[in-house]
Amino acid sequence: MNATVQTDTGTVRGIVHPDRRVFQGIPYAAPPVGDLRWAPPQPARPWAGDRDATKPGSPAPQLKNAIADLAGTNEDCLFLNVTTPATASPEHRKPVMVWIHGDGAIGSGDQFDPTRLAVDGDVVVITFNFRLGVFGAFGYPGLRDSGTIGLQDQRAVLQWVQRNAAAFGGDPGNVTLFGVSYGATATSAHLMSKESRGLFHKVIMQSGFTLMDMPAGVVYPGIPALPWYGWTTTSAAEAQGAALAEQLGCKDLASLRAIPVDELLAVPQVMNIFQPYALGNDQLPADPAEALGAGEFADVPVLSGTTRDEHTTFVAFFRELAGSPVTATNYPELLQTAFGDEAARIGAEYPLQDYPTPALAWASVVTDRMWARAQLRQNQLLSAKNPLWFYEFADRGAPLDIPFPPGFRPGAWHAGDVQYVFRTDENAMTEAQVALSDTMIRYWATFARHGDPNGAGLPEWSRFTTPDTVLSLAPDAIHPVDYAQEHRLAFWTQIGV
């Protein structure tokens, strides 16, 4: 059975299921091709008649990879998807949840099935594609929007929601922006950006890296220490773009815009180099830590958290599978490269004999130093102004829906909590894990509805005030945890690296 909805650019025809309505492949901006490559998103072109909205639009250009091997990519990629409960209507509006997928070089919105969240949470869920890598965070001298194009795509979705959500039965006055990893960091960008104010009313950030630095070699072998893991500067983005132009034999932006997509993608590391969004421009502050410390962010409720074993995913993919495994021999060398004179003290605090493998010892070091320390600092700064609820996903037996190395034990891995909110394969979960998923969906949806995750029948979740008010989420084990103690943050403060 089909359903039609009138948007501000034309009528879309989706599919009616007994418990939901689904509309896919709706253009939210004009195709960013030709002269619109690296330009801010422009209004979508109106159409006549009913537009088929029964299948997703093309994903953004990206390289094939082990996690998201998507077919049919195209530079014409600015599409969104809407899933509503069956009871949603213009007269019975539901909260709207807008999801930014993780990773700035791969992925698409339709990878995530919002059925359970929309139906069980009684919310309208919107997923979407945005420009990635060299197409989304490219910089070039004189390009006003250097390093921020993908961010502006995301804002265009939020603007579309304001104009069109009511027609689908969503409440444009109750919008929650949420995302994971790169998507959570992008969510924090909108939280800080004055250009995005008023377009959302709550945020959820799952495993973001807003305030995270990167000690030498902790993610990729041979990479020097960086002040930011998730950001760059406008000048750096422009210098990288100028270097790319020289490499491709292009003398100006017009000639770069004429380079075929495949030729751009063939440049080594081009999608990774241009992942970070640029700071210090019309879109973003020069220093996120200063901005958060000064309270220069939107006054909205926040739900924010991490997974217990964040860095195992990165060790698995960028070391074990990349042919640079962590061993008992090179573990001290890794510590020395990353932490210099404090390497021996850190090795004594995280001795190899305490872990099943050297890889997991190294992952524990970096999870605590890089991920947990930054997350606690971020949430302390945000909670000084905004109501905030802090969680840690702690299911160390979470299903592995990405291809980890055989025998690798990632625990509560980075982004492993996403499948509990966007639940697709219940057969991969135990009964207790399905129950945890049900609880997390209720927490997320209740927060979206009321700005507080607490509700009837849910375990109490205290508002974050001190490190021991973090809620640990695991099967049959939902309880407060002392986050600073669990991640040895007093030790890291003491050694000062």
Which of 164, 170, 163 lies closest to 21, judged by CA? 170
Which amino acid belongs to residue 401? D
Question: What does the alpha-carbon distance between residue 302 and residue 439 come to, in Å, rounded to a whole number?
Answer: 18
Which of 417, 401, 400 lies closest to 409, judged by CA? 400
Contact predicate 361/311, CB 8 Å: no
Using CA atoms in the order 279, 181, 380, 372, what is the torsion angle rounded to 10 degrees? -120
Bridge partners of 179, per DSSP, are 100, 205
Q: How many CB atoms lie within 10 A of CB 93?
A: 18
Which of 211, 56, 218 lies closest to 126, judged by CA? 56
Which of 76, 70, 68 lies closest to 41, judged by CA? 76
Question: What does the alpha-carbon distance between residue 487 and residue 91 come to, in Å, rounded to a whole number?
Answer: 48
User: Which of 146, 181, 188, 364 is the catalytic position?
Assistant: 181
Bridge partners of 288, per DSSP, are none
With 0-12 / 13-18 / 19 or more C-beta atoms within 10 angstroms meaning exposed / middle / buried, residue 400 is: middle
> Which residue bears the tokens 């080594």?
268
Does the annotation mark 207 as catalytic?
A: no
Which amino acid belongs to residue 41? P
Contact predicate 374/213, CB 8 Å: yes
How many CA atoms lie within 13 Å of 326's alpha carbon, on the beta-carbon side? 30
Which of 403, 402, 428 lies closest to 415, judged by CA? 402
Question: What does the alpha-carbon distance between residue 475 and residue 431 come to, in Å, rounded to a whole number?
Answer: 9
Q: What tokens does 417 get?
A: 């909590």
Q: What is the CA radius of gyration of the chain?
A: 22
In what helix (H) or strand (E) does residue 5 lie, and over which residues does it extend?
strand 2-7
Which amino acid belongs to residue 374? A
Which of 163, 104, 176, 169 lies closest to 136, judged by CA? 104
**Cβ-proximal residues to 86 (8 Å cutoff; 6+ apart), any chain:** 16, 17, 18, 19, 20, 21, 119
Q: What tokens does 450 get?
A: 């009321």
Supply the DSSP symbol for 3.
E
**Cβ-proximal residues to 260 (8 Å cutoff; 6+ apart), any chain:** none
Bridge partners of 479, per DSSP, are 472
Q: Which residues are catalytic?
A: 181
